[in-house]
Chains A and B, each alone.
Chain A
């Protein structure tokens, strides 16, 4: 019984600390928050060059498959709150519109947005 307990402890130590599961081939959804922000901003900026809506949607789906627009809006609002770059906010607002959701806070940053009155 003592051997079993000691063995179990050794096994836990190996599996969690000494030799844990090594993850590779990960997706953007498990990136650290600052990298996820950077990824979102790069997708928004790159859309200006590529003008490829499908590709932008696919990329943001990797970050949040259920709601691809959520990280975009969340970052844009955080930048607004922190007094971030207007250009970045504008790019994010455009991407949010492309993904189908523009919250009221971002409407002024979306050019030619048709506001239904």
Chain B
């Protein structure tokens, strides 16, 4: 007959072996079958692709609620990272302004921000969502049973922040240390307040140049009355059926008051500043051109490449008139 300690040891050993066998069976041999998962469990690259698909579907169908539903349950880091990457890729690839506007509208609604979307925020869309040609169907449906996934949602904030690059700091008010004795003074004329720079800006110079490129460009430089370039000025370019905007000082290759637009040939463009205010330059057109002195490239292929006119616009307030 075995002693009590020996039996206890045998029981304990049996227990441990049993637990080990149980875990081996449930974790390795017959684990919980993986079905009916949800997007948050996808591999990282596939999660990002899910976000990309949801965002690009929004570009086509303009359905914000559907996009939100599709992104529910995903971590904010995945949503923001994927949308930022998408916007930056598309901005670099020069996709149409309407596509960029819709993407930035979605990004803003999801509280995602990236510098590349700045110029497309709050600009009017020129058309309805991307149309799709629909041939005559054989049946006439009456409802849309789009599936609605319902995992545990994460809050996607809808608050937005609008950068205001043209804010002017308020100078500190100095309080007098002693009360000065009033002295008779000669009344001076009341100074006329100077209107804001945006109101005073006008076309100062408009130069055209011929460049060996397919696409045209409109470059804008904004200066103040002292000749200093002014950053943070919103410049609008509008044309029949569309609008685009740029903010001065965001391009590293230009100066502090520089902004530019890629434009197409044969369209009449209008340039204005501020919130789509009065036009400063109208009928800006880009056309094919020939360089002065003709083409001098010996290479035949280069000699046949198209040359396109570009504009460089200087906006400046009129000089301040000083009274003698």
Contacts and interface: CB of A to CB of B under 8 A. Distances in A.
Interface string B16-32: 11111111111100011
A37 B148 CA distance: 10
Interface stretch (A25-33, A66-74, A95-103): A25-33
B32 A88 contact: no
A90 B134 contact: yes
Contacts of A3: 10-15, 18
B70 interface: yes
B19 A11 contact: yes
A8 B18 contact: yes
Contacts of B44: 25
B162 interface: no
B34 A30 contact: yes
B139 interface: yes
Nearest to B61: A45
A51 B143 CA distance: 28
Given A28-B46, A41-B146, A79-B145, A108 B138 contact: yes
A49 B46 contact: no
B43 A49 contact: no
Contacts of A8: 18-19, 21-22
Contacts of B25: 11-12, 15
A2 B7 CA distance: 11
Contacts of A2: 11, 14
A6 B18 contact: yes
Contact of B37 (A4, A26, A86): A26
Interface string B27-61: 10001101111110111101001101110110111
Given A12-B25, A32-B36, A87-B134, A45 B18 contact: no
Contact of B56 (A21, A24, A46, A111): A46
Interface string A48-77: 111000000001001000000000000000
Contacts of B53: 39, 42-43, 45-46, 59
- Which residue among A11, A14, A84 has the maximum number of chain B CB atoms within 10 Å of its CB? A11
B15 A34 contact: no
Contact of B147 (A38, A49, A89, A105): A38
Nearest to A37: B147
B42 A1 contact: no
B144 A20 contact: no
A7 B43 contact: no
A28 B25 CA distance: 27
Interface string B114-132: 0000000000000000101
Contacts of B136: 108
B161 interface: no
Contacts of B191: none
A35 B46 CA distance: 13
Contacts of B17: 4, 7
Given A39-B53, A46-B56, 14 more contacts: A3-B15, A4-B17, A7-B21, A8-B21, A15-B22, A23-B41, A26-B43, A38-B149, A42-B54, A42-B57, A85-B144, A87-B134, A89-B141, A111-B133
The 8 closest A-B pairs by CB, nearest first: A11-B22, A7-B18, A15-B26, A3-B14, A83-B141, A34-B147, A42-B53, A3-B11
Interface of B: 10-27, 31-32, 34-39, 41-44, 46, 49-50, 52-54, 56-57, 59-61, 70, 99, 130, 132-149
29 contacts: A3-B15, A4-B14, A4-B18, A7-B14, A7-B15, A7-B18, A9-B18, A12-B25, A12-B26, A15-B25, A16-B26, A24-B43, A25-B42, A26-B43, A27-B42, A28-B46, A32-B38, A32-B149, A34-B147, A35-B147, A43-B53, A46-B52, A50-B56, A82-B143, A85-B141, A85-B146, A86-B134, A86-B137, A111-B133
